[in-house]
Amino acid sequence: MNPTLGILLKLGAVTAFVVMQSLIKATEGRVPAGEVVFFRSLFAFPVILGWLAWRRELRVGLHTHKPMSHVWRGVVGTSAMGLGFAGLQLLPLPEVTALSYAAPILTVVFAAMFLGEQVRIFRLTAVGLGLVGVMIVLAPQLTAVSEGHLGARQALGAMLVLMSATFAALAQIFIRKMVATERAATVVFYFTLSSTAFSLLTIPFGWVLPTGRDAMLLILAGLFGGVGQGMLTSAYRFAHASVVAPFDYASMLFAIAIGYFIFAEVPTSMTLAGAALIVLAGILIIWRERQLGLNRDKPRKSSSPL
């Protein structure tokens, strides 16, 4: 274990993903979301293959015990990407980032529903706090519908990003079940493969021939996405999840900076207040899950009421 290296890799991954989103946003909606998913996935492939070869896991990365689990994980993961990219073109980057933080909160809910995990008072309170934060971020977008076309676009964008977070949470449930039999390298490889394939199903809904500038932006987005995925997976090799997971929220700082200096987007006080509640809820959940993990490793003397 090397926690410092793990944290640095996580921060590198977070930076890469925010840059990826910024490159996609710079296309200004000229390329359909399904086509964006194709570029993001296809051009991440060389990076993923190089990463697997560097780790000498290329052969094991191709071996799977449950191929259908990768198919279903690919369906929900590709849906999450497509919805997120569509919402990204309609909302400011900081708001997209804040709403995407709903994913780990929803993961707790889905873990209780689909995996039978016990969720007691502490985590239920954290989930409730996070959902309040989501509603604070959503409220201005939903009330803006009456303001005309621009308000309707923002409301649609908020709904798309929230749906993306929901599918991302479902993807995490699939991954939790898959890691019992599948290596991380296998999950990463087959998701990149499946998302590339599934994105092609959106061709009938209107793909376009991107301009040279847009094509370059999307190719770079794919490369940054691949780099981010490799760094993210590697981060968990050098530090426990509870150590590196809170650094996800550094993306809000990067999103605010890029949104302000590149896209002239200034986050509202509602967005910042809602994001603060969501981040607090996420950190509380991470802390509690770490405590539960430590308790599972010890002989149990009594059960906790939380």
Question: Measured at the alpha carbon of residue 154, what is the angle toward residues 24 and 150, in degrees to the nearest 5?
Answer: 105
Q: According to the model, what pLDDT value does residue 281 have?
A: 94
Tokens of 255: 């999103």
pLDDT at residue number 302 = 34
pLDDT in tens, the chain (306 residues): 788 999 999 999 999 999 999 999 999 999 999 999 999 999 999 999 998 888 888 887 788 888 999 999 999 999 999 999 999 999 999 999 999 999 999 999 999 999 888 888 998 999 999 999 999 998 887 776 556 666 788 889 999 999 999 999 999 999 988 988 888 889 999 999 999 999 999 999 999 999 999 999 999 999 999 999 999 988 988 888 778 888 999 999 999 999 999 999 999 999 999 999 999 999 998 888 777 664 544 443 333 333
Q: Which pLDDT tens digit goes with each residue over 212-263?
A: 999 999 999 999 999 999 999 889 888 887 788 889 999 999 999 999 999 9
3-state class (DSSP) for residue 138: helix
Question: Rounded to whole angstroms, how far apart are CA atoms 180 and 246?
Answer: 24
d(C-alpha 306, C-alpha 292), whole Å = 10
Ranges of each domain in the chain: 3-296
Number of CB atoms found within 10 A of residue 284's CB: 18
256, 267 Cβ separation under 8 angstroms? yes
Contact in structure between 133 and 281 (CB atoms under 8 Å)? yes
